[in-house]
A = this chain, B = another copy of it.
Amino acid sequence: MSSLFLRTLREDPADAEVPSHKLLVRAGYVRRVAPGGYSWLPLGLRVLRNIETVVREEMDAIGAQEIQFPALLPKEPYEATGRWSEYGPLLFRLQDRKGVDYLLGPTHEELFALTVKGEYSSYKDYPVMLYQVQTKYRDEARPRAGILRGREFVMKDSYSFDLDDEGLERSYQLHRAAYIKIFDRLGLDYVVVSATSGAMGGSASEEFLAVSETGEDTYVRSNGSGYAANVEAVVTTAPAAQPLEGRPEAQVHYTPGTPTIETLVDYLNASADLGRTFTAADTLKNVLVKTRQPGEKDWKLLAVGVPGDREVDMKRLEASLEPAEVALLEDTDFAANPFLVKGYIGPGALASNGVRFLVDPRIVDGTAWVTGADKADHHVVDLLCGRDFTPDGTIEAAEVREGDASPDGKGTLVAARGIEIGHIFQLGRKYADVFELDALGPDSKPVRITMGSYGIGVSRLVAAIAEQHHDEIGLVWPRSIAPADVHVVIAGKDESVAEGGERLAAQLSERGVRVLLDDRKASPGVKFADAELVGVPTILVVGRGLANGVVEVKDRATGERSEIAVDDVVEHVVALTKR
């Protein structure tokens, strides 16, 4: 450490909010260079490389082959798949000296598909799985939390190519199992959540989330089963349809000054006419948005109907409508569509004006609702779905709440937060269709290839692990990826202590133990504080006890200390590293 390019900081960096960011900067692992751009100092780079090694070993173990693409990529393949425009401002775009368009790769589906098409032609060539560990670029609107969400980051992305759906399922499961091994080896506490609604076939996409309060991803899990899902992927359980016959007729009521659900419910319950009590869940709230398909110029109106006790969750709505863009209506939109009576919009005006109307799955045939009557200060009561209005379909857009029934029917949902560390995805034939990626089958007929794509946020893992492995005074690395196995602290000014520490460090190195030796001319207090901050799993203190033939071994994680005879300590530490 007397020559290591490392300066620890006593103060948290001003821009840091989450523990991993604070500690990784304070312990000298990373430094900020630009918004969302960090440099890796020696200790940080070692942790990053150790993680890369674990990832590579498990990828190689399932037969995936490593290759490497440029990060600076031509526009054409991304234009062919539509991602050049779909990515929007998230894509870093640039031009070369001739004015030709390029991008900095966010992921490489296009290039892998084209490369496999270029090399392979026969069904005998398949299946194949390829991966790279590569620097990726995304122009995040809000880079945050240091390396947790950067604009330049290291990712392991792999792609599988199979002849049929069974093959894709096999490649997917191989990756799933490899990811579990990787995250287990990295000492992570994580969940695997469904990332799509299941409409595409169950396990078409799953995310690996490191459990963390500081995570950006909200997910829900069941308190009665192993179910876990992204909030975007939660499928609402639809109630059974009810009979349409013999139900009260819909009636328009004068409900002055009730443009919100709250004012409406209060008015209805205060009014003697109706003779019953209403809750927000009895009302149907119709939220107007506008959507635009990729490549299209014009926006279209869309009405989303949800029970009045729930808000529309824009993230769920966007996920449901992907790849279309979604925006809220502006005053000019209302002005252009005078049939939309703000606060009193009902299914009637939507239908008669051709506005697409999608509803929450809870709104099934035979359910009765209080909703807008398309006239200021008026609502309609007992409007019956399937009789008085017919939605154009259902949509997952209503907020998911703790206590909602778990989609698997077991228990209720509990909310949690996590950091996305991995994502596995059955792409299917989307990319193969664009590039006509075919294999010549045994019957000489072309077989369209089906693809999977699988990502791990390698540099983000450094932060995710730090989030789970730290305490108030510093980092606490799992041994598998720690920058060193043992931190030897020379605590004392005696020449004999320094010599003893250096000799032990040399002996440990000879035995293959990775040693960080604090040979600085600093006080023991400074050295101990730095050792706790840096977070190497084993701290070996060589100090006054040396005269009595003992040194102190401290476990960084548990804080346990033990005095060990100098003659035994090398074997002792070697044994620790082999656990």
Task: Report which A residues bind B (CB closer than 8 A).
Answer: 3-7, 28, 31, 33-35, 37-42, 45, 48, 63, 65-74, 89, 92-94, 96-97, 102, 104, 111, 115, 118-120, 128, 130, 135, 137, 139, 141, 151-152
Contact = CB atoms under 8 A, between A and B. Distances in A.
A97 B151 CA distance: 11
Given A71-B71, A71-B152, A97-B89, A4 B45 contact: no
A93 B104 CA distance: 12
A70 B115 contact: no
The 10 A-B pairs of least Cβ separation, nearest first, read A94-B94, A89-B97, A37-B70, A40-B68, A34-B74, A7-B119, A70-B152, A39-B69, A5-B65, A72-B152
Contacts of A5: 65, 67, 119, 128, 130
Given A37-B73, A94-B104, 14 more contacts: A3-B63, A5-B65, A5-B119, A31-B118, A33-B73, A37-B72, A37-B74, A42-B65, A45-B67, A45-B68, A71-B152, A93-B94, A96-B151, A135-B135
Contact of A120 (B7, B37, B118): B7
18 contacts: A4-B65, A7-B119, A28-B119, A33-B111, A37-B70, A38-B70, A40-B67, A45-B66, A70-B152, A71-B135, A71-B152, A72-B92, A72-B104, A72-B137, A72-B152, A92-B94, A96-B151, A97-B141
User: How many chain copies?
Assistant: 2
A81 B141 CA distance: 29
Nearest to A154: B68
Contacts of A72: 34, 37, 92, 104, 137, 151-152
B96 A139 contact: yes
B102 A34 contact: yes
Contacts of A4: 65
A222 to B, nearest CB: 38
A7 B119 CA distance: 6
A42 B60 CA distance: 12
Contacts of A92: 72, 94, 96
A3 B161 CA distance: 13
Find the residue from A45, A48, A102 having the highest chain B CB count within 10 A: A102
A67 B38 contact: no
A80 to B, nearest CB: 14
A6 B96 CA distance: 31
Contact of A33 (B42, B74, B120, B152): B74
A34 B97 contact: no
A516 to B, nearest CB: 13
A115 B40 CA distance: 11
A546 to B, nearest CB: 26
Contacts of A38: 70
Nearest to A70: B37
A550 to B, nearest CB: 32
B70 A33 contact: yes
A174 to B, nearest CB: 14
Contacts of A94: 92-94, 104
Contacts of A130: 5
Nearest to A5: B65
Contact of A139 (B74, B97, B128): B97
Given A3-B63, A65-B5, A34 B93 contact: no
A89 B95 CA distance: 11
Contacts of A31: 115, 118
A418 to B, nearest CB: 26
